[in-house]
Amino acid sequence: MEKSRALTKKAKKIQAGGTGSTQRLKVITLEGTTIYMERGSGSKIYDVDGNEYIDYYLDYGPLINGHAHPHIVKAIKEQVEKGTMYGINNELEIRLCEKLIKHVPCAEMVGFHSTGSEAVHTALRLARAYTGKNKIIKFEGHYHGWFDSVHISSFSPPKGPEEAPEPVLGSPLGQPKSVLQDIMVLPWNNAEVLEKTLKKQAKEVAGIIMEPIELGHGILPKEGYMETVRELSEKYDVVLIFDEVKTMFRVGLGGAQEYLKVIPDLFVCSKAMGGGLPISAFGGKKEIMELITQGKVPAMGTYNANPLSLAGALANIEVLEKDGGKAYKEMYRVGEKLMKGIREIFEELKVKAIAKGLPCQFVTCFTEMSAEEITNYRAWSKAIESAPEKGERFRVELLKRGVFSSYPDWHLSTVHSDSDVEKTLGAVEDSIKEAGLAK
C-alpha cells in the first residue's frame, strides 16, 4: 500500500476532505490509508499498488454491467471523437427518452440532469407547481440527495416517536433550519400514519417522495402498502414521486414500479441507468411534465444531456436489453447464490447476522434481530448500530482478502461470476474467523 499511503498523505493537505466525496472514506480506508484505485475490468478493480479486488462496491451501484464493459467503452470512444459537449440539442437525447418511455411504466415525457440530487430537485419543483401546494412528505431513512431542501432524516439517528419522527437536518452546520418548514417526515411502511396525515393536512401537501424499495437497508414494502399509498395520493390530489436513483435499471429495466406493479406520477433515476457515466433522468405524466415545455418550470444545467453520458447510457441499456434481459437473469442467479452462501456461513459458524434484500443488491448485518423484524428505518438503525465494530472488522478483513464491499451493502453486476462467488464465500468465512466473529 506504499503508493496509496503517499497519495493519502498528499490529498489530506490539498483536497477538501481528502477525497472527491466524503461518503467514500467509509468504505475505502485500510489502516488509516485511503486506497487509490487505478483501473477496473469486469467484476474486478485494481489499486495503484497492483492489488486486485472482486468489486461489490461498484461505485454504490452505477456499474450494473461492471467495469469498462466493451460495448459501453466503444460507444464512448465513438462519441468522444465527435465532441464531448455541444450545449445544443443532439439526437442521442431523443433516443434515450424513447428507451425510458419504452421501459418505465409511468414515463410519458422525460428530462435529463447530471446527478440524482438535481433530478429530485426538479421533481419536487414540478409537484409544487402542478398542485399549487408547498409541503413534501418524505420518509425517515430515505435518501433523496444532499441538497438542503431534502437532505433531512436520511442517515441521522432517529429522533422523536416512531409514528411521528422529528425531522433531522442532514448537515446541521451550514444547512438552514428554515428548510424544515416545507418537509414532513413520516415512518415508511405505515399506511395508517400516512392516511391520518393526509386527512388532516392534504391541502398543504404537494407531493410524497419515497424510495419504493430500500435497497440500502434491504427492506421491501409490506404487502398492500404501496397500493394504499397510490390510492391515498390520488384521493388527496398529491403527486406521488418514486426516487428510483438506486432501483431503476438495477432491479430491472422498469425499476421498482414495474417490479411492484405500482405506478407513480413522477420518477427520478440515475446510477445504473448511466452504467458509470454521470447522468440522471426525471419523468412521468405528460400533464405534469409539460409545465417545463410550457416554460412554467425551469430545468436548467450546462451539462444536462451531454453527448458522452447519453452515449454511455444508451449502450449500457442496450446490454441490459439484449436477449430479453438475459443479463438480469444471470445477475439474479449469481446474487442469490452469494446471499445463500453467506447465510449458510453465518449459520455454520453460529454468527448472529442476516443477509437481506434482493439478489441484485442486498445487505449483511451483524445483529440479534431477525430479517423479518426489519421493516423500516427505525428497525434497521437499531440493527446496524447494535454492533458497528463487528461490521468494520468484517469489511477490513474482506478487503485484505481481495473482496471490496461497502458494508453493509453488496452490489451485484451482470458480469459477476460463479468463480467470483466461490472466492468471495471463502473470503467471507476466513474474514469472520479472523475478525473473531465466530463462536
Structural domains of the chain, with CATH: 2-68+324-434 (3.90.1150.10), 86-305 (3.40.640.10)
pLDDT at 19: 76
The answer to whether 244 and 268 are in contact (CB under 8 A) is yes
Residue with cell 448511466: 274
Residue with cell 426538479: 122
In 174-320 the beta strands, taken as DSSP E runs, fall at 183-186, 205-210, 239-244, 266-269, 280-284
243 is annotated as an active-site residue: yes
3-class DSSP state of 34: strand
Task: HSE, CB side, 13 Å, CA atoms: give it for residue 59.
Answer: 21
Q: What's the CA gap between 194 and 280, in Å, rounded?
A: 29
Strand 353-358 versus strand 361-366 pairing type: antiparallel
Q: What's the CA gap between 27 and 15, in Å, rounded?
A: 18
13 is annotated as an active-site residue: no
> The sheet that has 239-244: what strands, in order across it?
109-113, 280-284, 266-269, 239-244, 205-210, 135-139, 183-186
Q: Which residues pair with 139 in a beta bridge?
A: 186
Write out residues in the chain with pLDDT < 50, as ranges. none
The answer to whether 100 and 111 are in contact (CB under 8 A) is no
Q: What's the CA gap between 93 and 237, in Å, rounded?
A: 32
pLDDT at 335: 98
Reported as a single tens digit per residue, the pLDDT across 376-428 is: 999 999 999 989 999 999 999 999 999 999 899 999 999 999 999 999 999 99
pLDDT at 168: 94
271 is annotated as an active-site residue: yes
pLDDT at 25: 65
Tell me which DSSP letter residue 295 carries. T
Q: What's the chain's length in residues?
A: 439
Residue type, 158: P
Tell me which DSSP letter residue 376 carries. S
Q: Which of 37, 101, 93 is nearest to 63 (CA)?
A: 37
Q: Which of 264, 216, 262, 415 is nearest to 335 (CA)?
A: 415
State the catalytic residue, choosing from 271, 285, 356, 390: 271
Tell me which DSSP letter residue 399 carries. H
Residue type, 342: I
Q: What's the CA gap between 332 and 361, in Å, rounded?
A: 9
pTM for this entry: 0.95
pLDDT at 103: 98
State the catalytic residue, choosing from 47, 243, 265, 420: 243
Handedness of CA 105, 110, 115, 116 (dihedral sign): negative
State the catalytic residue, choosing from 57, 143, 377, 407: 143
Q: Which residues pair with 152 in a beta bridge?
A: 169
pLDDT at 23: 67
